[in-house]
Amino acid sequence: MKLKRILTRYYPPGLGLHYVCKDGRPKIRELDILELTSETSDVDAFVDLIASRERLLTPRWRQKLKPRVRALVKQLQRNYKAKYSLLRTVNSHVMPLTNTAFNKSGSRFVTGSYDSTCKVWDTETGEELRTLKGHSNVVYAVAFNKPYSDLIATGSFDKSTRVWSCSTGKLHHTFRAHAEEVVCVMFDPTGRHVCSGSMDWTAKLFDVETGRQVQTLDGHIAEVVGVQYSTDGALLVTASFDHTVRLWDPRAGHAVRTLEGHVGEISCASFDFAGGVVVSASIDKTCKTWDVASGRCLNTFKGRYVGRSVGRSVGLSRLIQPL
């Protein structure tokens, strides 16, 4: 294994070790460094401690890691009780927006729209960098391949999923595998695969490099409106209008377990960062947390307005910044 670069995560503090396996496959190892606090003063000793547990961190990489850890400490020392104000309003599309997504650094964001296009924007200046054209219907879902953020996936009511270059706008692949509208997309943590969920009751996985479909996740009995990978990519969660959430092994393509308990359509589901808990939201006006290992419901939170309906949109993109 050969380490290629180190990525940092502000909260909770952590590292992403981007390395290449012996067979040439790229991978990312997530490394939590929860011991790091705003009171950490001896960065050299802290880095030595991390390196003693991680063989990828050779002496050369230890030196590169130190300034990153110092930056993390400074970030933890910031006062997060900041107020926010409107930074700018971006008049983006000729028709209402559907969804937006930021890249890892926040320097770029994309917008999807009912006008069948996706636009890429510079966050700081509000400049429109490029327009991604090719879909023949609503662009409903958009996503970056974090942490690299050099590719964008779009899902459309034209039943296709497309993968584009963020820097040039070049179309790399068009996946036409669904029988109905595509309403959610997400890359896996390595950026090698993209998953799409559809109103045809399935989720599908595609290889970004080859353009081939690699899995069909079939088992829901209603629309799949949410997909998300766990941080390590070992599991995938799908949310469905059939009132259930399913956990999948994306490599094998089979369901690990079904989380049942909601009495209304599920609007979204997500892993916590550690991957041990899933939270789901439903139009039954509840959110539930679930233990991934056992499938047991841990808590139910009730409220008047919980959930998010497919099709809700707004006409403007608005950016806010801390005061």
CA–CA dist 190, 196 (Å, integer)? 16
User: Per residue in 6-30, pLDDT tens?
Assistant: 888 877 788 888 888 888 877 778 8
Q: What is the structure's pLDDT at 82?
A: 60
Give residues with Cβ within 8 angstroms of 272, minimum separation 6: 278, 279
What tens digit of pLDDT does each residue of 265-277 get?
999 999 998 889 9
Q: Are 110 and 100 in contact (CB under 8 A)?
A: yes
Q: How far apart are CA 204 and CA 196, in angstroms?
A: 5
3-state secondary structure at position 73 = helix
CB-CB contact of 242 with 224 (8 Å): no
User: Strands across the sheet with 277-282, in order?
Assistant: 266-271, 277-282, 286-291, 297-302
Q: Are 69 and 43 in contact (CB under 8 A)?
A: yes
Q: Mind listing the pLDDT tens digit for each residue in 187-234?
A: 999 999 999 999 999 999 999 999 999 999 999 999 999 999 998 899
How far is it, in rounded angstroms, from Cα 32 to Cα 30?
Answer: 7
Binned at pLDDT 50, 70 and 90, residue 79 comes out as low
Q: What is the mean pLDDT of residues 79-89?
A: 69
- pLDDT of residue 160 exceeding 50, the answer is yes
Phi, then psi, of 219 in degrees rounded to 5: 175, -30
Q: Give the mean pLDDT of 94-110.
A: 93
- Find tokens 């079904």 and name the residue: 258
Taken in order 242, 193, 185, 229, is the CA torsion positive or negative?
positive
Q: Is the pLDDT of residue 305 over 80?
A: no
Class of domain 84-302: mainly beta
pLDDT over 90 (residue 33): no
Q: Tell me what pLDDT residue 191 has.
A: 92
Domain boundaries, the chain: 2-76, 84-302
Query: Angle 43-53/59-76 helices, nearest 10 degrees?
Result: 120
DSSP for 158-198, please give it. Answer: TS-EEEEETTT--EEEEE---SS-EEEEEE-TTSSEEEEEE
pLDDT reported for residue 80: 59
Mean pLDDT confidence for 244-252: 97
In whole angstroms, give the CA distance from residue 139 to residue 116: 5
